[in-house]
Amino acid sequence: MITLDKLSEFGADVKDGLIRCMNKEDFYLMLVNKALNDNRLSELEQQIYYKNYHSAFETAHTLKGMYSNLSLTPLTVPINEMTELLRNGTDTDYTALLEETKTQFRRLCEL
């Protein structure tokens, strides 16, 4: 079960995330759990695999908003980078960035 302490250990800026949730811990944890159940990271992987960069940008942009509002910093860093590359339709190797995101997402799920 995810707790604020575990999220801090994960590297999330819990204090920052809580402020956006009016310092309601339960509400914040509920939203983090929502993010954990979101499967759009897999969608993003597929879209990049098929080089559907326009859709990939939309997905990455959404994930970026979600992770950054929850202050899930370890996820925010790689997804931000991907979003900016995809915004310009950059045809590059996204493997490392995707792997980093997936790794951090797995870490979060394992908390």
Partner 1 sequence: MQELLERKQGLHRTVLIVDDEFIEREMLGAMLSGLYEIIYASNGMTALEIIKKKKKTLSLILLDFHMPVLDGYSLLKILRSDSELRSIPVIVLTSEKKAEVKSLQLGAADFISKPYEAPEVIQARVRHSIELFEDRIIIHDTERDELTGLFNKEFFFEYGKRLNNQNGNMPMDALVLDINRFHIINELFGRSYGDKVLKIIGQSIHELVRQTGGLACRSNSNCFGIYIPHMDNPKDHLPRFISMIEDNLDDRKISFRIGIYSDDGNALDMEQRFEHADLVCRKIKNSYTTCFDIYNAELHSKELHSERLINDMDTALSEKQFKLFYQPKYNISDSKPVLASVEALVRWYHPEYGIIPPAEFITLFEDNGLIRQLDNYVWNEAANQIKQWKDAGFNVPISVNVSRVDVFNPRLVEILSDITRSRGIDSENLLLEITESAYSDNAQQIISTVINLREKGFKIEMDDFGSGYSSLNMLCSLPIDALKLDMEFIRNICDNKKHLRLVEIMI
In the complex, the residues that contact partner 1 under the rule CB under 8 A are 19-22, 24, 27, 31, 34-35, 58, 61-62, 64-66, 68-71
Nearest distance from C-beta of residue 41 to partner 1, angstroms? 14
C-alpha torsion sign, points 72, 108, 47, 66? negative
- Tally of CB atoms within 10 A around 53: 20
Q: Which is nearer to partner 1, 96 or 109 (CB)?
A: 109
Nearest distance from C-beta of residue 3 to partner 1, angstroms? 19
Rounded CA gap, 46 and 44, in Å?
5
